[in-house]
Amino acid sequence: MIGLPTLIRIRADATGMVEGYGVDAALVERAISGAPVGVTITDPDRPDNPLVYVNDAFTRITGYERAEILGKNCRFLQGEATDPDAVAELRAAIDAEEPVTVELLNYRADGEPFWNEVTVAPLTDEDGDLTHFVGFQADVTARKEAERALADRTATLEHLVDRIDGLLQDVTATLMQATSRPEGERGVVERIAAADPYVYAWFGVPDRSTEEIVATTWAGTGDSVADVAIPFGADDLTSRAYATGAVQTGAVAASACADHVPTARSVAATPIAYGDTIYGVLTVYATDPEAFADEETVVIRAVGRTIGTGVNAAQNQRVLVADTVVELDLAVSGTEFFLSQLTAETGAVLEHRGSVYDDDQRLSMFFEVNGDPDAVVTAAATAEGVDAVELVYAADDGGLIEVGLADETLVAGLAELGGQIRSLTAADGTAEFTVAVTEEIEPRAVTERLTAAYPEIEVLAVREGQRRPTTKREFVDEIDEQLTDRQRTALERAFISGYYDAPRTTTGEEIAASMGVSRATFHQHLRAAERKLIAEFLAQ
């Protein structure tokens, strides 16, 4: 708002010219006429408070000539979409002879709407009596459009967050409730195909024997894709998503399944992955050519990651309960694998005793050492892939060490593939271990992943094996559900560390220190876990 009315007092004659008091009238006229905002003066003593002066900026903003508007009330700028509440606020301030600023949707002479920031202030004479109103008009259309665009963007993002949250919850629930991978995939594609703006979805998995991506499940408004097989490396969105590990979007013509979904106009393909492991590709179709904009790509990517996490978790669970699994005997030599390096440097023999995840989800592995445990700890402290190492206890002929692993390790890679280590022994610079995976994971996928990370790895054998016999599975599951994370950690560490051995090879104080808690807290968690274990056992 220009402060001119507070600096000088002005009055208007019938021709609309200005005379200044204490300021040269010509100077005032030049200042007002050349102002970058519209300046108007109205005469409330005349009927309908008409305009008696307008400057050049006002005619430029509105598109009207002076002759068209002098003698009229400013309301001629209002139109169909002008806010009546803002008009009422302006009118009330004028009636009360008070200054006011409002934003009005006004219309130019050619009918084009524009946002007008209007400031009106009363002008009084030396006796304090009202003589005129001065108004200032600023075209704020650009600012209002930016504000509206920001509001629309905010609303879009809020809607996007709600959509992602709802869709991911449904996908997660579908995967958790499924009793098999095909059932989970079918439930997921049905849920996605039913979600706006999608019309069709299908799930494809790699067949490495034919080097093709083959359809396994589909849903939505379209034909069956049971006969679809897309070669690796094909110029196709689904194939590129599998090859690059990134979401691919485009026109429906870029999809091998274009004929199966005649109503579709756009398509997106997202890899179903966990870590670096790609289990397959989810391909989704929509009728809107612009359906898969940047925001929608976020949704598709999030869905792919969620499905990948669910598939990985389901596979890990199936390794535990499957009657038949595939076992791979592997050997790794060289310094790139930390166990091979440790045994080559120290001459010790390391045997895997068990693994636990800490509160920060870092994997800790326990190894029984046949040799000098202190030397192994020293060597492990600088070994690649090892975050931390600690001596749990030492004995005359060896001891037990705990090794905290970084994410990018051979063990982490096996976990991503849904594999479980059955046995692991390292000696003389070579680590040999047996890994079990479900039948759904092709052994070739495991070996390709491992050989890419560890060129020195050697596949000694691939065979079908039986799940290790376990008794009272329900008993174990029931206890596992009752234990808190801290109670389970305390129990696992106590058992692996030799706390229950005779003679005891570690103390409660040492285990407490490894957990980062006090001795009393460790015993509290351990006793609680023991009570739950014994209570369930006696209840059988």
Are residues 91 and 205 both part of a single domain?
A: no
**Stronger pLDDT, 493 or 18, i.e. the higher one:** 493
Highest mean pLDDT among 126-135, 156-165, 529-538 belongs to 126-135
Per-residue pLDDT, 133: 94
pLDDT digits (tens, 9 = 90+) for 9-59: 444 343 444 444 455 656 667 777 777 889 999 999 999 999 999 999 999
Strands (E), 301-397: 324-333, 349-357, 363-370, 386-395
Are residues 194 and 288 both part of a single domain?
A: yes
532: domain CATH number is 1.10.10.10
Per-residue pLDDT, 150: 76
Task: Give CA–CA dist 395/14, Å, rounded.
Answer: 111
DSSP string, 247-285: -EEEEGGGSTTGGG-TT--EEEEEEEEETTEEEEEEEEE
Task: Give CA–CA dist 204/218, Å, rounded.
Answer: 9
Mean pLDDT of 483-508: 86
Residue finishing a domain among 469, 486, 512: 469
Are residues 391 and 286 both part of a single domain?
A: no
**Is 100 inside a domain boundary?**
yes
**Is 532 inside a domain boundary?**
yes
Task: Give CA–CA dist 170/150, Å, rounded.
Answer: 30
Are residues 114 and 65 both part of a single domain?
A: yes
pLDDT digits (tens, 9 = 90+) for 235-285: 899 999 999 988 898 888 888 888 888 888 889 898 888 766 788 898 989
Nearest by Cα to 23 from 37, 12, 7, 35: 7
Residue length, the chain?
540
Q: Which of 1-5, 267-271, 304-308 is predicted with the least confidence, judged by mean pLDDT?
A: 1-5
Are residues 273 and 313 both part of a single domain?
A: yes
Residue finishing a domain among 139, 165, 186: 139
DSSP single-letter state for residue 482: H
Residue finishing a domain among 318, 348, 365: 318
Are residues 531 and 387 both part of a single domain?
A: no
Contact 294, 205 (CB under 8 A): no
Are residues 232 and 84 both part of a single domain?
A: no
Are residues 218 and 358 both part of a single domain?
A: no
Per-residue pLDDT, 87: 94
Are residues 366 and 504 both part of a single domain?
A: no
pLDDT digits (tens, 9 = 90+) for 363-418: 788 888 999 999 999 999 888 878 888 888 887 788 888 888 876 566 666 665 66
Contact 103, 136 (CB under 8 A): no
The boundaries of the domain holding residue 67 are: 4-139
Measured from the Cβ of residue 97, the count of other Cβ atoms closer than 10 Å reads: 13
**Is 148 inside a domain boundary?**
no
**Is 146 inside a domain boundary?**
no
**Is 150 inside a domain boundary?**
no
Mean pLDDT of 104-111: 94
**Is 147 inside a domain boundary?**
no
47: tokens are 């009927």
Asked whether the predicted pLDDT for residue 348 surpasses 90, the reply is: yes
Are residues 291 and 404 both part of a single domain?
A: no
33: domain CATH number is 3.30.450.20
Are residues 331 and 192 both part of a single domain?
A: no
pLDDT digits (tens, 9 = 90+) for 449-462: 677 767 778 888 87
**Is 513 inside a domain boundary?**
yes
Are residues 375 and 518 both part of a single domain?
A: no
